[in-house]
């Protein structure tokens, strides 16, 4: 889970009202270090003040992916067309990726701090945003998953991906039979798939329990650059649904902009449904305008409060992310100060002596609008955060913290991480399974809307559920894979459903719970009838077909469904322009009646029920049908003699592929094109019957001749009209 364990004091000291502006003084720092992006600057500062080993400890605590050479992933924004890749390599960088946004490299922190001075063409060097995890489930039953599985929905045929920060323990879970072997895995980090975290394995367990036959794709990412690459990989693999129980802080202002949101939208445009955790900041977030009621340049969280507080245990990781609405780069300069405020028994004022950590990096126009503190709480007690501005005010700013805020000062609104804020993200809030019927959402579950007004979340899933990896598993990390698994179930029984269809159904099926900024459409529920009519795929009733030379009557086989009546769609799959489709009709038969004789046509059909969002079967297997030949006209006669005459089969509207046979009905014999007789019908093309001389006739006798046609499927017509011929005496 994302949130560090918190020690909450039973009774809280009174909130400090003011901070002496003289206290928030920037510490001495080299100018080059102060000009660094805040995330990278904190590492460089730790390395300078406390050494390489301490810097590594801080990096690990922040979830940064240091490779075996101690290099960290950086993102370089360009000044003009630069910098040259060769110059970066010469400066000690390993090139990771190059795109329109900038250049991603790996470099040692010591080298990174000097890059801007060593290589021309660099606007800024930034620490790559780090993916953060929001850390049989009871949720499978609560959401209708077990009921769906009992009806035959199991995720079969669906490609379901888990994008996460690590899958430690995955092999053991496979060996224990709790997870299937992955169809494919992809690791974009410098460490192994089974390292860094077991979070992805816990998420995969829930998704698998919801959709046990879905094909699992496991993708490990560590930074925003990895996430963008992962999306391209998922698109290439034609994944149907992916779950991302991760997010990025200090990458945008929760407004759907930036690289993570753009990559998520790209996946949606390629037909993938991205199911994304909202984040766990509902009780550890503040957002608002920069108010300065007493004109001392310190942020007033309220008219009388310049410190926002939280409690923490000694040794716990404390993280503070300050962002303001001026992305991607800013000249609005803000600083953050963290104070140790003591305990109930021994409260401390916010003085210079009680400063625990600071983030006081410059924002001069090229840097991002962020300040970051990542430190270890030195003692158990209460801590306070103060924000100071150096120059002009930002329009809006927000704090994300690792510990719940006290004194009722947390602002849950718009507390979501990116990419949950993306337009294309199907974002998921969390509600404990033990209050599934009534709510509320978890206090930590991030709320919407996105700061640009986009409605978030879309839906709510259960958390606090039993899990082999995390027993119990709390957080929006646990709620999201329930939704991803549910989408896989729907896709498995109706493969034609698009990402938009899946999202629409999940929203419609959800049970409304109240405030859409908390619950979205409501709690995840699979509808009582989400199955298409049976059997699926459907089959034609061939016995009810009627075929003529110019029409085919198609008939659907018998179908059953819990929601009636049914509708049917008959579709022509042949290239013949004269063939037509039925569209959705209420009858189980369809007549296509403007066809041509002896021509092959192909059809398929499907059915749907009368649910609010109709459940539609798969298409039947295509069926090829050939129309019959037209019944021939009477033949013509010429050169009548006493013992012979000449017979000709005339054009009758049939195509040249139709064959004909001529019978002397009077004698019961069949003719051949050469004029001899046969005991059975002899079929030949009409052109062969242009001048057939019939011999051996009796003088002054009347004979009856008729013609029969046969199509290419060996279906014969009845005998056509009669020709009566009387031989000469």
* DSSP label at residue 119: S
Q: Is 540 helix (H, G, I), strand (E, B) or coil?
A: strand
Q: Please spell the DSSP secondary structure of 641-659, one letter per residue.
A: -SS-EEEEPPP-S--TT-E
Given this model, what pLDDT does residue 723 score? Answer: 97
pLDDT tens column, 427-470: 999 999 989 999 999 999 999 999 999 999 999 999 998 888 98
| CATH class, range 636-726 | mainly beta
**CA atoms within a 13 Å half-sphere pointing along the CA-CB vector of 588:** 16
Distances (CA, A) of 634 to 394, 628, 641, 687: 95, 18, 20, 15
Architecture of the structural domain at 542-626 = Sandwich (2.60)
Distances (CA, A) of 335 to 113, 324, 331: 20, 12, 13
Q: What is the mean pLDDT of residues 596-623?
A: 94
Strands (E), 83-214: 94-98, 103-108, 122-127, 132-133, 159-164, 184-187
What crossing angle do the helices spanning 38-50 and 52-61 adopt, rounded to 10°? 140
Predicted confidence band at 60 (pLDDT cuts at 50, 70, 90)? confident
Least confident of 52-61, 156-165, 480-489, 505-514: 52-61
Strands (E), 478-610: 546-547, 552-555, 567-572, 583-585, 589-592, 600-608
Name the average pLDDT for the chain. Answer: 91
Burial (CB count <10 Å: 0-12, 13-18, 19+), residue 686? buried
Q: What is the mean pLDDT of residues 477-492?
A: 96
Q: What is the mean pLDDT of residues 577-590?
A: 96
Architecture of the structural domain at 1-11+284-411 = Sandwich (2.60)
pLDDT tens column, 492-504: 999 999 999 999 9
Q: Is 225 helix (H, G, I), strand (E, B) or coil?
A: helix
Q: Which helix (H) or strand (E) holds 319?
A: strand 317-324
Comparison of pLDDT for 234 and 33, the residue scoring more: 234
Given this model, what pLDDT does residue 36 score? Answer: 82
The Cα–Cα gap between 628 and 710 comes to 8
> ∠541-597-711 over CA atoms, to 5°?
80
Say if 132-281+415-519 and 542-626 have the same CATH topology.
Answer: no
pLDDT tens column, 114-147: 888 889 999 988 888 888 766 544 566 666 676 7
**CA atoms within a 13 Å half-sphere pointing along the CA-CB vector of 94:** 12
Structure tokens at 31: 């100018």
Given this model, what pLDDT does residue 137 score? Answer: 46
Predicted confidence band at 3 (pLDDT cuts at 50, 70, 90)? very low
Q: Which helix (H) or strand (E) holds 507?
A: helix 499-509
Residues 133-153 as b/e (b if ≥16 CB within 10 A, e otherwise) read: bbbbbbbbebbbbeebbebeb
Laid out side by side, the sheet with 692-694 consists of 636-638, 645-648, 692-694
The Cα–Cα gap between 585 and 541 comes to 17
Give me the long-range contacts of 502-508 (CB less than 8 A, separation at least 24).
502/241, 502/273, 503/273, 503/426, 503/458, 504/613, 505/530, 505/613, 506/426, 506/458, 506/459, 507/458, 507/459, 508/612, 508/613
Predicted confidence band at 6 (pLDDT cuts at 50, 70, 90)? very low
The Cα–Cα gap between 360 and 337 comes to 8
Fold of 132-281+415-519: Rossmann fold (3.40.50)
The Cα–Cα gap between 238 and 365 comes to 41
Distances (CA, A) of 1 to 6, 203, 275: 13, 11, 18
Residue closest to 164 by CA, chosen among 220, 231, 229: 220
The full set of domain ranges for the chain reads 1-11+284-411, 132-281+415-519, 542-626, 636-726
Quick one: what percent of the chain has pLDDT higher than 90? 74
Looking at the DSSP bridge assignments, the partners of residue 162 are 218, 243
Q: Are 246 and 132 in contact (CB under 8 A)?
A: yes
Q: Is 444 helix (H, G, I), strand (E, B) or coil?
A: coil
pLDDT tens column, 667-711: 999 999 999 999 999 999 999 999 999 999 999 999 999 999 999
Given this model, what pLDDT does residue 146 score? Answer: 67
The Cα–Cα gap between 290 and 276 comes to 30
Structure tokens at 77: 């924004």
Predicted confidence band at 237 (pLDDT cuts at 50, 70, 90)? very high
């Amino acid at each position: 889970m994302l949130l560090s364990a918190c020690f909450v004091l039973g009774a809280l000291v009174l909130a400090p009202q003011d901070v002496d502006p003289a206290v928030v003084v920037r510490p001495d720092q080299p100018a080059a270090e102060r000009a660094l992006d805040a995330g990278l600057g904190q590492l460089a500062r730790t390395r300078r003040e406390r050494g390489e080993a301490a810097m590594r400890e801080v990096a690990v605590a922040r979830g940064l992916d240091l490779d075996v050479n101690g290099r960290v992933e950086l993102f370089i924004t360009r000044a003009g067309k630069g910098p040259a890749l060769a110059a970066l390599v010469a400066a000690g960088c390993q090139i990771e990726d190059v795109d329109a946004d900038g250049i991603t490299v790996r470099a040692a922190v010591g080298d990174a701090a000097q890059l801007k001075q060593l290589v021309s063409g660099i606007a800024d060097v930034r620490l790559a945003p780090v993916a953060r995890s929001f850390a049989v489930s009871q949720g499978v039953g609560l959401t209708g998953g077990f009921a769906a599985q009992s009806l035959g929905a199991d995720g079969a045929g669906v490609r379901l991906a888990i994008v996460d920060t690590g899958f430690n323990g995955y092999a053991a879970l496979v060996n224990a039979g709790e997870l299937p072997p992955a169809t494919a895995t992809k690791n974009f980090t410098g460490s192994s798939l089974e390292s860094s975290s077991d979070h992805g394995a816990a998420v995969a367990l829930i998704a698998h329990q919801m959709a046990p036959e879905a094909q699992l794709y496991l993708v490990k990412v560590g930074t925003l650059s990895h996430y963008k690459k992962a999306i391209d990989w998922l698109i290439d693999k034609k994944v149907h649904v992916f779950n991302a129980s991760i997010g990025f802080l200090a990458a945008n202002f929760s407004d759907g902009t930036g690289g993570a949101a753009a990559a998520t939208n790209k996946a949606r445009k390629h037909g993938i449904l991205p199911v994304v955790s909202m984040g766990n900041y509902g009780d550890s977030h503040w957002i608002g305008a920069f108010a300065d009621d007493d004109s001392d340049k310190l942020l007033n969280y309220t008219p009388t409060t310049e410190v926002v507080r939280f409690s923490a245990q000694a040794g716990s990781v404390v993280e503070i992310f300050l962002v303001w609405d001026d992305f991607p780069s800013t000249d609005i300069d803000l600083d953050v100060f963290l104070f140790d405020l003591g305990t109930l028994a021994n409260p401390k004022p916010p003085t210079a002596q009680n400063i625990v950590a600071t983030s006081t990096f410059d924002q001069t126009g090229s840097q991002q609008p962020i300040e970051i503190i990542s430190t270890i709480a030195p003692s158990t007690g209460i801590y306070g955060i103060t924000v100071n501005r150096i120059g002009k005010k930002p329009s809006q700013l927000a704090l994300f913290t690792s510990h719940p805020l006290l004194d009722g000062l947390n602002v849950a609104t718009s507390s979501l991480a990116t990419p949950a804020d993306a337009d294309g993200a199907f974002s998921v809030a969390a509600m404990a399974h033990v209050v599934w019927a009534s709510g509320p959402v978890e206090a930590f579950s991030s709320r919407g809307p996105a700061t640009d007004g986009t409605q978030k979340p879309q839906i709510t899933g259960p958390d606090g559920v039993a899990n082999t990896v995390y027993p119990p598993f709390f957080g929006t990390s646990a709620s999201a894979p329930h939704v991803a698994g549910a989408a896989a179930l729907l896709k498995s029984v109706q493969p034609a459903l698009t990402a938009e269809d899946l999202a629409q159904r999940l929203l419609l099926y959800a049970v409304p719970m109240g405030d859409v900024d908390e619950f979205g459409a409501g709690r995840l529920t699979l509808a009582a009838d989400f199955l298409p009519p049976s059997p699926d795929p459907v089959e034609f009733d061939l016995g009810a077909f009627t075929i003529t030379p110019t029409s085919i009557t198609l008939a659907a086989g018998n179908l059953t469904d819990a929601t009636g009546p049914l509708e049917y769609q008959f579709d022509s799959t042949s290239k013949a322009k004269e063939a037509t489709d039925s569209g959705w009709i209420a009858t189980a038969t369809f007549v296509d009646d403007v066809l041509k004789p002896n021509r092959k046509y192909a059809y398929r059909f499907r059915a749907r029920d009368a649910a609010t969002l109709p459940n539609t079967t798969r298409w039947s297997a295509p069926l090829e049908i050939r129309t019959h030949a037209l019944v021939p006209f009477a033949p013509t006669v010429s050169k009548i003699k006493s013992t012979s005459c000449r017979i000709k089969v005339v054009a009758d509207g049939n195509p040249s592929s139709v064959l004909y046979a001529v019978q002397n009905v009077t004698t019961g014999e069949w003719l051949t094109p050469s004029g001899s007789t046969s005991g059975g019908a002899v079929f030949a093309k009409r052109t062969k019957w242009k001048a057939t001389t019939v011999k051996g006739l009796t003088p002054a006798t009347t004979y009856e001749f008729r013609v029969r046609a046969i199509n290419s499927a060996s279906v014969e017509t009845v005998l056509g009209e009669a020709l009566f011929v009387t031989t000469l005496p």
